[in-house]
Amino acid sequence: MRELWITPDRQGNSMSADSAESTDHRFMHRAIELARNCPPSSTAYSVGAVIVADGVEIATGWSRETDEKVHAEESALNKLDPDDPRLTRATIYSTLEPCSTRATANRPPCADRILAAGIPTVVIAWREPSLFVAACEGVDKLRRHGVRVVELTDLAEEAMSMNTHLDLG
């Protein structure tokens, strides 16, 4: 017999561990779908992002959605008022670890934008390899600031699939 644990969801309501996992997988699959919209680039990853509050998708984004430099998390966050109260109880799903540094100097890294928005939970499928940035520290930075980071490594291959043109080593 399989054990079923009851845990609080991100809003404090009781839910099973299976239910939390299926919710995370459902929204990560949505982020993966969005990543497929990215125009391919030899200098950037194709990433999708979904922001969810109270179980409802409130914003989405993907790399290069609005301009050639926009990141997925940035694109999704740009669609919301920075003071939107839902952000403090939201989860952002990103197919790739949020960046901790940017080549575009006039844009803050996505990890900093997530911290500024007050989003308490981040769910990713894979960590950023050192192809463009020597050592991405997005997950570590978020965790140091009290953000809960969930890694869905079982979806990493699917989340990487639109980046096969890059040398992911």
Catalytic (active-site) positions = 73
Q: 141: which 2 tokens?
A: 């930075």
Residue type, 77: L
Cα four-point dihedral sign 152, 154, 158, 160: positive
Residue type, 2: R
SS3 call for 34? helix
Q: How many CB atoms lie within 10 A of CB 146?
A: 8
Rounded to the nearest 5 percent, the helix, strand and coil shares of the chain are: 35, 20, 45
Residues 6 or more apart whose CB falls under 8 angstroms from that of 161 comprise: 32
